[in-house]
Chains A and B, each alone.
Chain A
Amino acid sequence: MDAALPTHAAMLRGRIFGHVGLMTGIAILVVAFACAIFAPLLAPHDPYFQDLAARLVPPVWQPRGTWLHPLGTDNLGRDYLSRTIYGARVSLLIGFSVMLVSGLIGTTMGLAAGYFGGRTDMAVSFIVTARLAMPVVLVALAVVALVGGSLVVVIAVLGLLKWDRFAVVMRAATQQARAQDYVAAAKATGASTLRVLLGEVLPNILPQLVVVATLEMASAILLEAALSFLGLGVQPPLPSWGLMISEAKAYMFFSFWMIAIPGTALGLLVLAINLVGDGIRDVAAPEGRA
């Protein structure tokens, strides 16, 4: 009776490709991922190689700039383009790992609190409140002071601290989904609790989960940069954008590009992730809603 309608997949394709923000975000992300994965092939120089004879070379568009170092060199004569490309690795690695760790913790807690309610809900809400009372940077400071900073420590600290938004959003979404008839209908067809949770509730709150995940990933990348800037994150000589900004701050007035280049890269990556998150929400929103 509605055979003339385009198929489900065709409508979805149309919505995705028609979304400018989503496509822009995906395009930037693809470039960032390519940089991260193929860094050794793309980078013109070794990011750790110091050429003290060529210190503080400005980018190619400035006077004194040379095509040998398109984005110039830093105070130790390391090629800035190569370091920026390698920096994408650290940012994306941290963003993804933190999102996975915190997402797993937060989603589990939110699902349990929202679905079971009652005491479980009270317990989870208490843990979330307790967690929100702890400032992330201060905790990170304390942990780094105790065990020293490294990539793994940053991932662990952020992953174990940043699940709060996952828990809060997933709890609210689950409460909503739990009251739907299809949950009762699934129980009426003999589905177990775990099956109802993972098979019925989770797929329906997936759009919200994806949006939170992207926002948290972007915020984790920014936090890593902030921690590295403070000297609490990844340690030199690893090329991290936050660390590059930190090292450049002494030269800010004379070599502005040193702070602008990693800053732009960081801003673009975070923007792209947020665009993708928003885009997915827009594309998924009409889905399944009658």
Chain B
Amino acid sequence: MSAILTVEGLEVDLSVPAGTLHAVRDVSFEVARGETLCIVGESGCGKSMTALALMGLLPRNARRRARRLVFDGIDLAAASRTQTNDLRGSRMSMIFQEPMTALNPAYTIGNQLCGVYRRHKGGSAAAARERAAFLLGKVGIAAAGERLGQYPHQLSGGLRQRVMIAMALMCDPALIVADEPTTALDVTIQAQILKLLKDLQDEFGMALVLITHDLGVVARVADSVAVMYAGAIVERGTAAQVFAAPRHPYTAGLIDCIPVPGRTKPGERLGAIPGTVPALVGNITGCAFRSRCAHAQARCEDAPPQHAEGGHEWACIRGAA
């Protein structure tokens, strides 16, 4: 499997009034063509910042650094603004969390879909419209021709997210970054959208980086998983490895929080991780999770050792069981 996206040592620093906030610290991963990588973690752990950093959409007060940031043979870290603009929406596209606000209320669906296509591929309005109608059909929207003439506020949340997915697919991208694409949707719609993303991936073969805090989502779609905590990846491996044998206490804690049908009895308390994510302003030394960890020891004050075992990597003093 050749990697479409290689990230090595990605760092994002935000300058905030209190100092420098290290939102993303030394994050490395690879995504192969047709693969789904899920980045999991709780709020504020830097997963959205990672997604925005990949797309070059960081807020103004943010700085991005990386040892290597290569997409499809192009060095994103060195790419000019024009090059980045040419890539975005064409070779790599993004799906946002809030389908209610991510579509421009001033234009019809068709206008927005065709706009992306014509910006990158040129061609006639008719060709763009045909592509848009084709993709609306693909994302399961009936009466596509009629929908093209409608405005975003005339569509439901689930429909809008489908439109967003169609928009991401307009130029046949090699990579889609989806930042919590199902968080704002009803649970029933969530399952439909995930299945849709998976089906589309099988059909079009693009790589998918899915940012989520929902391990249920991960279990359903991920090929590989990266667990982030306090801006760093603490555990990485295939979905099977991470779910069957979580090595990092944080991952194990997250998995304990999910109720399992059949195994979790009525009235039984679910697992919980005590405490909150530490503040990320200033220098962070040692394991960031030690203040909440049941296995914390004096050695956790030092940088945690990295373990690797058949593609399964984690950063903790506790080695393989």
User: Which of A1, A5, A184, A290 contacts B105 (CB under 8 A)?
Assistant: A290
Q: Would you call B154 and A8 a contact (CB within 8 A)?
A: yes
Q: Would you call B93 and A182 a contact (CB within 8 A)?
A: no
Q: In the complex, A137→B98 CA distance in Å?
A: 49
B288 to chain A, nearest CB (A): 28
- Residue B307 is within 8 A (CB to CB) of chain A in the complex: no
B165 to chain A, nearest CB (A): 12
Task: Kindly list chain A residues whose C-beta atoms are within 8 Å of the C-beta of B154.
Answer: 2, 5, 8
Q: Would you call B89 and A188 a contact (CB within 8 A)?
A: yes
Q: Would you call A181 and B105 a contact (CB within 8 A)?
A: no
Q: In the complex, A226→B178 CA distance in Å?
A: 59
A262 to chain B, nearest CB (A): 41
Q: A183: nearest residue on chain B (CB-CB)?
A: B104
Of listed B93, B103, B106, B116, residue having the most chain A CB within 10 A: B106
Q: Would you call A190 and B104 a contact (CB within 8 A)?
A: no
Q: Would you call A289 and B88 a contact (CB within 8 A)?
A: no
Task: Kindly list chain A residues whose C-beta atoms are within 8 Å of the C-beta of B115.
Answer: 189, 199
- Residue B90 is within 8 A (CB to CB) of chain A in the complex: yes
Q: Would you call B96 and A184 a contact (CB within 8 A)?
A: yes
A163 to chain B, nearest CB (A): 24
Indicate with 1 or 0, residue by residue over A159-198, a CB within 8 angstroms of chain B CB atoms.
0000000000000000000001110111111111000000
Task: Kindly list chain A residues whose C-beta atoms are within 8 Å of the C-beta of B119.
Answer: 189-191
User: Which of A118, A191, A204, A290 contacts B153 (CB under 8 A)?
Assistant: A290
Q: A287: nearest residue on chain B (CB-CB)?
A: B105
Q: A179: nearest residue on chain B (CB-CB)?
A: B101
Task: Kindly list chain A residues whose C-beta atoms are within 8 Å of the C-beta of B120.
Answer: 190
B103 to chain A, nearest CB (A): 6
Q: Would you call A188 and B106 a contact (CB within 8 A)?
A: no
* Interface residues in B80-106 (C-beta closer than 8 Å to A): 84-90, 93-94, 96-98, 100-106
Q: In the complex, A2→B149 CA distance in Å?
A: 14
Of listed B97, B153, B167, residue having the most chain A CB within 10 A: B153
Q: Would you call B100 and A188 a contact (CB within 8 A)?
A: no
A144 to chain B, nearest CB (A): 42
- Residue B60 is within 8 A (CB to CB) of chain A in the complex: yes
Q: Would you call B86 and A182 a contact (CB within 8 A)?
A: no
Q: In the complex, A1→B141 CA distance in Å?
A: 10
Q: Would you call A185 and B85 a contact (CB within 8 A)?
A: no
User: Which of A1, A2, A185, A187 contacts B103 (CB under 8 A)?
Assistant: A185
- Residue A237 is within 8 A (CB to CB) of chain B in the complex: no
B51 to chain A, nearest CB (A): 10
- Residue A117 is within 8 A (CB to CB) of chain B in the complex: yes
Task: Kindly list chain B residues whose C-beta atoms are within 8 Å of the C-beta of A200.
Answer: 104, 106
Listed A/B pairs (26) with beta-carbon separation below 8 Å: A2-B154, A3-B143, A8-B149, A117-B60, A180-B101, A181-B96, A181-B98, A182-B101, A184-B96, A185-B164, A185-B167, A187-B57, A188-B89, A188-B94, A189-B93, A189-B116, A190-B84, A190-B85, A190-B87, A192-B85, A203-B106, A203-B107, A204-B106, A206-B106, A288-B151, A290-B152
Nearest 3 A/B pairs, CB to CB: A288-B105, A189-B89, A203-B106
Q: Which residues of A contact B (CB under 8 A)?
A: 1-3, 5, 8, 117-118, 180-182, 184-192, 199-200, 203-204, 206, 287-290
